[in-house]
Amino acid sequence: MRFKARYVLAGELEVVENGVVEVDDSGVVVGVGKYTGGVAADLGNVVLMPQLVNAHVHVLDAAIIDRDDLYIDDLVGWPHGVKYHVVKGLVRRGRHVPLLKKVAQRMRSYGVGCAVIYAEYAARDVEEVFRQYGIEAVVFQEAHGDFPNYPNVQVASPLDHPVEYLKELRRRYRLVSTHVSETSDCHEGGDLELALKALDADVLVHLVHVTEEEIAQIPPHKAVVVNPRANAYFVGRIAPVHKLLHLKPLLGTDNVFMNEPDPWAEMKFLHAYSSAAGWALGEREILSMATVWAWEKLRCSPPIEPGKPLRGLAVAAPYTGNKVLKFLVKRTSHRDVIAFIEGGRLLQAWH
Ligand SMILES: [Zn+2]
């Protein structure tokens, strides 16, 4: 099967004009390049690009949608925050699955192909529901001083637990993650050192308050995730993304109750903020944060290149000009997502 498109974002988001992608019978890409003739399904005036990644999202807290009337710790802090009280009750009554379906369906409609999800409870249900809606989910079950029966775990903050417990989590689980230095309190408490030395976390989320010396201590293979809108709302300051670029940071939308889990919106906010802050992030970097860097770090949403399964998005390109990446980051919204290309199949998007 071959798909032809006005633009293809191949590999590390190289723009191929009048591009073609060929897949074999198992849906794996066997060729990407310029179209030079032959039979191909013409996707038309679109950008064929990798599906988006939402690299940090709490999906169950949709149960407290738009609660923003308390200090961050009183809302989402473990164990007494409102979030834990409400979500725990929801899961106990078995009412979380219908809610998860609504969130998953909406995230899929934004063009999300892979999500890295924090589950306060019920990680298996989260994984299963998201898969039903076409989203691969790397789910982390929150550990509350116990040892959950799930391969990946997270702690809300390493400061909440004894060092020996953090080390034991590292020993027992496949992937480990935690929030780090979202607030100045956590930073002063030394949460980065605990996250790196005791928990040895694979995925570090936030890093709003970090010094250059601390950034230099983060090993390059770690996955680092930033959440610009959530940081703006909760703590009034954004992680220094321009100083994290060598770590290939990923982009998340954080709490669903606070932000719509839409990577297009997150990219636009980061683009505008970085301009205001004088960071001058490039569009290629911002789009990489929501696509190909997540493959490199977590095998989340493959790039379009030979040997990888094709999981593409066809995005409308009505008046793109020659700055395709800028168009995608600054102008595109989920309404421009026309279709999902899964291997040799084309699935119409819905809105
Ligand atoms: Zn979070």
Using the 3D structure, point to which of 298, 313, 338 is the last residue of a domain: 298
Q: Which helix (H) or strand (E) holds 22?
A: strand 14-23
If asked whether residues 200 and 272 sit together in one domain, one would say: yes
If asked whether residues 288 and 332 sit together in one domain, one would say: no
Neighbouring CB atoms inside 10 A of 278's CB total 7
Q: What is the mean pLDDT of the chain?
A: 96
If asked whether residues 250 and 141 sit together in one domain, one would say: yes
- Strand blocks (E) in 82-199: 112-119, 136-142, 152-155, 175-180
φ, ψ at 176 (rounded to 5°): -130, 140
Arithmetic mean of pLDDT, 209-216: 97
Distance CA 269, CA 234 (A): 15
Q: Is pLDDT above 90 for 320?
A: no
In a 13 Å sphere around the CA of 185, the CA atoms on its Cβ side amount to: 8
If asked whether residues 266 and 327 sit together in one domain, one would say: no
Pairing of strands 311-316, 337-342: antiparallel
Q: Give the per-residue pLDDT at 217.
A: 97
Parent domain of 341: 2-50+301-348
Distance CA 8, CA 276 (A): 30
> SS3 for 16?
strand
If asked whether residues 140 and 243 sit together in one domain, one would say: yes
If asked whether residues 281 and 227 sit together in one domain, one would say: yes
Centroid of ligand 1 to alpha carbon of 230 (angstroms): 9
If asked whether residues 193 and 159 sit together in one domain, one would say: yes
If asked whether residues 207 and 316 sit together in one domain, one would say: no
Centroid of ligand 1 to alpha carbon of 283 (angstroms): 25
Nearest to 261 by CA among 100, 33, 123: 100
Strand partners, 187: none
What's the pLDDT band for 78 if we cut at 50, 70, 90?
confident
CA distances from 87 to 78, 92, 102, 221, 342 (A): 12, 8, 16, 33, 33
Q: What is the pTM of this model?
A: 0.97
Centroid of ligand 1 to alpha carbon of 253 (angstroms): 8
Distance CA 172, CA 208 (A): 29
If asked whether residues 329 and 284 sit together in one domain, one would say: no
If asked whether residues 322 and 335 sit together in one domain, one would say: yes
Using the 3D structure, point to which of 265, 283, 298 is the last residue of a domain: 298
Arithmetic mean of pLDDT, 275-286: 96
Arithmetic mean of pLDDT, 117-142: 98
Distance CA 315, CA 46 (A): 5
Q: How many domains does the chain have?
A: 2
Q: What CATH number did the domain enclosing 116 receive?
A: 3.20.20.140
pLDDT tens digits, one per residue of 224-271: 999 999 999 989 999 999 999 999 999 999 999 999 999 999 999 999
If asked whether residues 140 and 239 sit together in one domain, one would say: yes
Strand partners, 311: 342
Percentage, residues of the chain above pLDDT 70:
100
If asked whether residues 37 and 57 sit together in one domain, one would say: no
Centroid of ligand 1 to alpha carbon of 182 (angstroms): 9
pLDDT tens digits, one per residue of 36-60: 999 999 999 999 999 999 999 999 9
Arithmetic mean of pLDDT, 267-278: 97
Centroid of ligand 1 to alpha carbon of 57 (angstroms): 6
Q: Give the per-residue pLDDT at 70.
A: 84
pLDDT tens digits, one per residue of 151-185: 999 999 999 999 999 999 999 999 999 999 999 99
Using the 3D structure, point to which of 298, 320, 335 is the last residue of a domain: 298
Q: What CATH number did the domain enclosing 8 receive?
A: 2.30.40.10
